[in-house]
A and B are shown apart, each in its own frame.
Chain A
């Protein structure tokens, strides 16, 4: 199913069920279930930052869910496909439609930036022409004011550039879901505005966001609902009423 074929906002993109999480022996949540609707922005927040980031990685298919209950197993379904337990071919199809941007704008160190940018694209669509992808990279690089660094190794460019390049790479395959781990980390105020504008445009095109961040501007521009994780409490999913979001401000800061 193509993202553009179905823009129905009520479609449940991700279903998380019966998740447990312990961080350093402390139970953060138990038997947690919630769903993520298409074309909306979600914030994962709470006092324990490690827990927020782990939940993001569980949803992104990076850290498998573990259960402290022997007869119960946590599950993450992406449009009905269990991203940890289904066949590899199906998981590959799912991963094609999910993009993850790491806090540091992580890249594979032994590849050039060009190879890094094209790696997921060539893996998922090996028969596609790279020219179109390179054109998009060039156009988006111009938007961000990134100089021609494609033939350099990642360690030779700044963290800020790497992060912007990671956003371009994430949007290259036009995924349904983008997960952002501290999206404004390593960016100055001007870069934050640029990135926010870029992400807002992606959201307008129907992409869904799940974000672990404490940056207040994100809350105001990209977020429709928030998943609040507090130790010893059931996760609280709140909508975007003024009062509810005012409550969230205790977890957010002006910079993150």
Chain B
């Protein structure tokens, strides 16, 4: 009984290690292909443009809602604790640290995982099942160059832009909320918030969004292309892609924060 449990645990660890090694080599192959992307000329640019449009512009509405809600929640909680809003620095410090430095890139990444990550792994998984990857190979077109590189680049560009948009709408939405409900002048709110901002506060979300984009793009494509033949594998791989992406993004968030603080 005990030996059965041990052997099952050992085989699971072995499989996990094998997956990590495979993912490592997959990532290396993708990075090598980045420099060959220009060979695709027009056909590659179309894929990249579509990915940016899908991951970026179509996600603006949920990002607006989440960013304004987060900012409003921080203002409400600070008001609850402090009572007199706008007089101390705490509100602006918390807005900078919680919303701009920590949550902007993290929440944007979660939205991108839910929308783009799942759609990438489902799409690629179905392409494997329907032999579309074989078709590309028969043309001599590398699926890494044609499918993975533009998707990863699209996710990075979208995540970076969406994070900037998240911060902008959180700040403006927060200022408007504070003005309407607590009668704080919008100009004063923005002025005091900007005074609290440091270089690190602006730099950290940028670095994080790029790293998160690379990780989400790579994991989603890897899991999608790992589908072998059956369509029943597609939802399983999509689920793994979501779980792995969320875990990786949160771990990276902690790592980057520890590194810079």
Chain A residues close to B by CB (< 8 Å): 57, 60-62, 88, 91-92, 94-96, 98-100, 102, 104, 106-110, 115, 119-120, 122-124, 126
Q: Which of A92, A107, A109 contacts B140 (CB 8 A)?
A: A92
Q: Give the distance in Å from the alpha carbon of A96 to the alpha carbon of B126 in the complex.
A: 26
The segment from B39-47, B69-77, B171-179, B191-199 found at the interface with A is B39-47
On whether the beta carbons of B138 and A100 are closer than 8 Å, the reply is yes
B233 at interface, CB cutoff 8 A: no
Tell whether, in the assembled complex, residue B134 and residue A57 are in contact, meaning their CB atoms are under 8 Å apart.
yes
Q: Given A109-B126, A110-B123, does the pair A123, B141 have CB atoms closer than 8 Å?
A: yes
A119-B43, A126-B41 as given contacts; A109 in contact with B139, CB under 8 Å: no
Contact between A96 and B140, CB atoms less than 8 A apart: yes
Q: Which residues 112-160 of B have a CB within 8 angstroms of A?
A: 123, 126-127, 130-132, 134-142
Q: Closest Cβ of chain B: how far from A179's Cβ, in Å?
A: 8
Which chain B residues border A106 with CB–CB below 8 Å? 130-132, 134-135
User: How many angstroms from the CA of A225 to the CA of B42 in the assembled complex?
Assistant: 41
Asked if A109 contacts B41 (CB within 8 A), the reply is: no
Write the B85-124 contact mask toward A (1 if CB under 8 angstroms, else 0). Answer: 0000000000000000000000000000000000000010
- Chain A positions within 8 Å of B132 at CB level: 106-109
Q: Is the CB of B40 within 8 A of A123?
A: yes
Expressed in whole angstroms, the Cα–Cα distance for A119 and B138 within the complex equals 12
B134 with A62: CB separation less than 8 A:
yes
Instruction: Report whether A62 and B126 are in contact in the complex, using a CB–CB cutoff of 8 Å.
Output: no
Interface of B is mostly: helix
Task: Give, as a whole number of angstroms, the nearest-CB distance from A91 to chain B.
Answer: 6
Q: Which has the most chain B C-beta neighbours within 10 Å: A61, A88, A108?
A: A108
Question: How far is A123 from B42 in the complex, measured between Cα atoms in Å?
Answer: 9
15 other A-B residue contacts (CB within 8 Å) besides A94-B140, A96-B140, A123-B43: A61-B138, A62-B137, A62-B138, A88-B36, A95-B139, A98-B138, A102-B134, A102-B135, A104-B130, A107-B132, A109-B126, A119-B139, A122-B41, A122-B42, A126-B42
- CB-defined contacts of B134 to chain A, threshold 8 Å: 57, 62, 102, 106
Please give, as numbers and ranges, the residues of chain B lying within 8 Å of A122 by CB-CB distance.
41-43
Measured between beta carbons, the chain B residues less than 8 angstroms from A102 are 131, 134-135
> With the chains together, A98 CA to B130 CA distance in Å?
21
The answer to whether A120 touches B41, judged by C-beta atoms less than 8 angstroms apart, is: no
**Contact residues in B for A92 (Cβ distance below 8 Å):** 140
- List of A residues within 8 angstroms of B42 by Cβ: 122, 126
Contact between A109 and B127 (Cβ–Cβ < 8 Å)? yes
3 nearest interchain CB pairs?
A: A95-B140, A100-B138, A120-B139
Whether A124 contacts B140 by the Cβ 8 Å rule is yes
Is B135 a contact of A123 with CB atoms below 8 Å? no
Task: Please name all residues of chain B whose beta carbon is closer than 8 Å to the beta carbon of A120 when the two chains form the complex.
Answer: 139-141
Chain B 238-256 per-residue mask, 1 if CB under 8 angstroms from chain A, else 0: 0000000000000000000
A123 to B137 Cα, complex, angstroms: 12
- In the assembly, what is the distance between CA of A110 and CA of B136, in Å? 13
* Complex Cα gap A124–B42 (Å): 12
A121 to B115, CA, bound (A): 33
Q: Determine the distance from Cα of A106 to Cα of B135 in the docked complex, in whole angstroms.
A: 7
A110 cross-chain contacts in B, Cβ below 8 A: 50, 123
Candidates B36, B41, B136; contact of A108 at CB < 8 Å: B136
